[in-house]
Structure 1
Amino acid sequence: MPLLTPQAVSLAGLTPTYSAAAASTTVPCGERVFLHVKNTAASPVTVTLTSTARVRGQLAADLAVTVPATTGEKLIGPIPSELFADPTSGNCAVGYSSTTSVTVACLRI
């Protein structure tokens, strides 16, 4: 899975660079890390962050966010380690129900 590198938001401003969404990617976890997802497809897209947290031995639910069709945009985050960090890589796995006409940027404030 490709890793999306966070782009730092600064006082000077940031013009984010967006990449085409891949079927699955990873992003670093952090209280200041967000995903900005844009969808220009004719159908909504579901973005799923895979949970790795356990409560009383049971895996916590994944986070599923729907990005509306045509001109939909969603900022998703922060992405806390205690909910989403893979035990091996420390990153969060992100999946998309469709990647057609979907772009994404990883941002850090």
Structure 2
Amino acid sequence: MDERYHAVLEKLWHCALSSEKCAAACLASERVGALATCIRLSQDCADTCMLLVRSIKRKSVLVPSLLAVCDFVCKLCAEECDKQEEDYCQQCAAACLLCSEACRQFINDH
């Protein structure tokens, strides 16, 4: 694997795991109904990040397009999670912002 992918892969993994944790915790929350959008976006974000990880690993021709999609989904998830007070939502928002930035940086550098 090319060294230039390591930084973005690390951010993608962290974002996917944080997003999964956020969605699971929101589903267990007493406020589950109020967190429905957060749950859906967190699940979408985790799925998108993992798709990009797998695509990078197999050197797919879709990587450039998926980087742009992942950047977009991470921004949406970060915005929604940042509206919530729960620690796991705030952690997810931070991971999403870092991932979004890493995707943009990778696009700009290549």
When the two structures are superposed, what TM-score results if normalisation uses the length of structure 2? 0.32
Higher helix share goes to which structure?
A: 2
Larger RCO: 1 or 2 (CA < 8 Å, sep 6+): 1
When the two structures are superposed, what TM-score results if normalisation uses the length of structure 1? 0.32
Higher strand share goes to which structure?
A: 1
